[in-house]
Amino acid sequence: MRAGVLIRAGVAGRLCGLSRPAVTLRWIRSSSGPPENPARDQSAAAPLRCFRLPGRSLLHIRGPDTCAYLQGIITNDMNLLQEEEERRALYAHMLNVQGRTLYDIIIYSVREPSGDPVEVLLECDGSVLDSVTRHLKVYKIRRRVTVTPRSDLALWALLPRDAGSARDGSQPRPTAAGRPLVLVPDPRTDLMGWRMITGSSENPAELLTDCENRETEEYQQHRYTIGLPEGVADLPPGDALPLESNLVFMNGISFSKGCYIGQELTARTHHTGVVRKRLLPLSLSAAGDALQPGGALDSTAAGKPAGKLRAGLGRQGLGLVRLAHANDTLTLKSSSSTPVTARASIPDWWPKDATK
């Protein structure tokens, strides 16, 4: 049974400017199994590691043109939030006119289950919040929407306690003390657990059963270990290409939705079927945070350039690597010019034919 979705309708109503007398819970389940009782024994809840993500920010977009407005400026299909009842989050990129990634985003629907998605919360890298806001407003002409930063909200990542474990059919359990505003499966991969939005002063340990607060650095290392990019350090604006950044594998693009900004190059590359470089997880012989982002990766076997380092933390990192050299031992230089070795790997969660 697929993981469910929890939305606190009372708070969602306040975002709409509506008045609701009570906070209610709505559990959205797929039709592949029977509905589950959220009030059952809370000891069955999966143990979770909870990470606050202060480097990610939220924008509130509302108005009758919300869906059509975003449809023309993101890579994914906003209609999925209408057509698939259990879907409440959508991963996507915003591209420039040359088809390169500007910003990676997650869109959360805060509508009523039976209504149109006339308002959403948009997650982005907090360091470029102003740039994302300006980008959105450039394309807002004659659209009946408003775009508002929501600094009063906090974003959390919830991961299974066992590192490397995938999200299963269980659902994080709220306590009797309170409810998160939004609690949804991460749309990118099961290995990323759940996304949760709360008020900025709320503590997830008081909202969820068996939830342990952990340091954000552990979350970053988890992402690098499984090879999942997030934010402008991993996806440099105007430099990263969406298909090389594995947008397809992260459920972040629709090739049937029609036109959007940057669509032409992306669609052409997809239909030729040729992607020679991909963003891959790296195991490093020295701490990655001491290495220069953008440093050249060279193949020791071929004696040729093999790619570039994007980012690193501890002994884990991400690199844009030519697939022809993905199995080679790679080298790069540290800030002290000391050679550092790196080994790339193909993530297990990718499709089996991903590198063909």
176-232 pLDDT, tens per residue? Answer: 777 889 999 999 999 999 999 999 999 888 899 888 999 999 999 999 999 999 999
- Architecture, CATH, for domain 276-344: Beta Barrel (2.40)
Provide the residue type at 95 as one letter.
L
Q: Which residue has the higher pLDDT, 339 or 96?
A: 96
Contact 232, 318 (CB under 8 A): no
Spatial distance between the Cα atoms of 67 and 137, rounded to a whole number of angstroms: 15
Contact 212, 47 (CB under 8 A): yes
Contact 313, 288 (CB under 8 A): yes
Instruction: Name the pLDDT band for 294 (thresholds 50, 70, 90).
Output: very high
Residues 6+ apart with CB under 8 A from 2: 29, 30, 32, 33, 86, 169, 185
DSSP states of 89-157 as a string? EEEEEEE-TTS-EEEEEEEEE-S-TTS---EEEEEEEGGGHHHHHHHHHHT-TT---EEEE-TTEEEEE
Half-sphere exposure of 209 (CA within 13 A, CB side): 16
Residue with tokens 């009946």: 144
Spatial distance between the Cα atoms of 173 and 194, rounded to a whole number of angstroms: 12
DSSP 8-state class, residue 174: B
What local confidence, expressed as pLDDT, does residue 114 receive?
53
Taking only the tens place, the pLDDT of each residue in 20-75 is: 223 232 333 333 333 343 333 434 445 899 999 999 999 999 999 999 999 999 99
**Residue 134, number of CB atoms within 10 A of its CB:** 11
211-214 and 48-52: which strand pairing? Answer: parallel
Spatial distance between the Cα atoms of 107 and 81, rounded to a whole number of angstroms: 9
Residue 118 has pLDDT above 90, yes or no: no
Residues 6+ apart with CB under 8 A from 141: none
Contact 279, 104 (CB under 8 A): no
What local confidence, expressed as pLDDT, does residue 85 receive?
64
Instruction: Name the pLDDT band for 125 (thresholds 50, 70, 90).
Output: very high
What local confidence, expressed as pLDDT, does residue 6 receive?
47
What local confidence, expressed as pLDDT, does residue 178 receive?
76
Residue-wise burial string across 2-34, b where 16 or more C-beta atoms lie within 10 A, e elsewhere: bbbbbbbbbbbbebeeeeeeeeeeeebbeeeee
What's the farthest any 2 CA atoms get from each other in the chain?
68
Whole-prediction pTM value? Answer: 0.85
Contact 186, 155 (CB under 8 A): no
User: Domain extents for the chain?
Assistant: 5-226, 276-344
Contact 111, 12 (CB under 8 A): yes
- Architecture, CATH, for domain 5-226: 2-Layer Sandwich (3.30)
Instruction: Name the pLDDT band for 333 (thresholds 50, 70, 90).
Output: confident
Identical fold for domains 5-226 and 276-344, yes or no, is no
